[in-house]
């Protein structure tokens, strides 16, 4: 088996911010497995400010693995384990060919584009990143519910609020509209506070950061609607599949979500979503945060496509043959 590793660096659209830090370039690695003419690709793209490993650490781990390949994914950093396991799943035909391109539409500064996309959905589903100004964001959500009578929203707070701020956010939303919030991801700084917020307001919540804690175990809780899975931050494909199965066994929803991967990674996440969570729209509306697509096009995206011969993609020298 021939193993090839590439580094990519794609310019982002202006205005992309992660935890108050601008993201001007999205960097990552592509691993290519070639066995008797069959090809498997995977993306290794730690997300700055969110992943436990840096890109440098991920690259080091990927090179070490390439020099002595093995299947002990859980001993690798999460992004490396996920990318390599996806490449093997493709190589062996274990990744479904159909994709789930339904997605929550991200409402950012371009309200006109959001309105246009929402109007095209028969069951409109939007998403708002919250946690910067809780009162303004609550008012925005309420206005969206008023403007789009059939809209359902997902909200993502990234543990930004204390309990009183989260409750003040909810108070901006008319009570009849609160049931139209499918869930808010991690509204408070700790899971117990988030559960208390849900009990006080009646607004459903979802676990996101909590899923990635070392001793996380899927459990039911009052007003807990979903488990959000960002595979790049979690680990191998098998680990993610097991979490999905546990979640479904408890009657909860599992949502596949992006970590701002390239369109290669997004296309694989869409396939994973269709294969394992076919009845739940994933959170993959991030392709247009970049200025180019990478290797594979993504649905409803018209950005130019970067191929292997592009200056945006450089092979990393390594001794890469294994059996």
- CB–CB of 239/216 below 8 Å? no
Alpha-carbon torsion angle 151, 152, 156, 160, nearest 10 = 80
Closest CA relative to residue 235, chosen from 90, 52, 36, 12? 52
Which residues, in sequence order, are CB contacts of 65 under 8 Å at separation 6+? Answer: 76, 80, 84
Specify the residue for token string 């950005």. 303
- CB–CB of 295/11 below 8 Å? no
Specify the residue for token string 């999905």. 244
Name the token pair of 318: 């390594």
- CB–CB of 61/80 below 8 Å? yes
Annotated catalytic residue, options 75, 129, 215, 220: 129
User: Can you tell me whether residue 306 is helix, strand or coil?
Assistant: strand
Can 230 be counted among the known catalytic residues? yes
CB count in 10 Å sphere of residue 44: 31
Q: How far is CA 74 from the centre of its chain?
A: 19
**What is the pairing mode between strands 205-207 and 181-185?**
parallel
Burial (CB count within 10 angstroms: exposed 0-12, middle 13-18, buried 19+), residue 103: buried
Closest CA relative to residue 276, chosen from 302, 301, 245? 245
Can 135 be counted among the known catalytic residues? no
Annotated catalytic residue, options 56, 117, 127, 230: 230
- CB–CB of 216/235 below 8 Å? no
- CA atoms of 178 and 125, how far apart (whole Å): 14
Active site (catalytic) residues: 129, 230
């Amino acid at each position: 088996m021939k193993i090839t590793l590439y580094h990519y660096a794609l310019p982002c659209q202006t205005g992309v911010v992660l935890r108050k830090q601008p993201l001007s370039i999205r960097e990552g690695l592509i691993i290519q497995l070639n066995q008797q003419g069959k090809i498997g690709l995977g993306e290794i793209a730690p997300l700055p400010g969110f992943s436990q490993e840096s890109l440098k650490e991920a690259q080091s781990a990927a090179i070490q693995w390439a020099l002595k390949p093995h299947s002990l994914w859980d001993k690798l950093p999460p992004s490396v384990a996920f990318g390599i396991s996806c490449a093997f799943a493709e190589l062996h035909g274990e990744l479904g060919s159909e994709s789930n391109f339904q997605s929550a539409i991200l409402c950012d500064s371009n309200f006109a584009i959001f309105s246009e996309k929402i109007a095209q959905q028969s069951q409109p589903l939007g998403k708002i990143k919250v946690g910067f100004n809780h009162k303004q964001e609550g008012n925005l959500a309420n206005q969206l519910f008023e403007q789009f009578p059939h809209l359902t929203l997902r909200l993502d707070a990234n543990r930004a609020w204390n309990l009183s701020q989260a409750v003040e956010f909810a108070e901006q939303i008319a009570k009849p509209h609160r049931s139209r919030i499918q869930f808010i991801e991690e509204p408070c700084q700790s899971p117990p506070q988030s559960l208390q917020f849900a009990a006080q307001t009646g607004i459903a919540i979802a676990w996101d950061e909590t899923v990635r804690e070392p001793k996380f175990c899927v459990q039911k809780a009052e007003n807990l609607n979903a488990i959000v899975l960002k595979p790049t931050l979690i680990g191998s494909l098998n680990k993610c599949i097991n979490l999905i199965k546990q979640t479904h066994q408890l009657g909860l929803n599992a949502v596949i979500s992006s970590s701002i991967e390239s369109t290669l990674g997004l296309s694989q996440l869409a396939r994973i979503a269709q294969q394992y969570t076919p009845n739940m729209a994933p959170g993959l509306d991030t392709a247009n945060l970049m200025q180019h697509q990478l290797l594979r096009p993504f649905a409803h995206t018209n950005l130019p496509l970067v191929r292997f011969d592009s200056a945006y993609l450089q092979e990393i020298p390594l001794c890469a043959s294994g059996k």
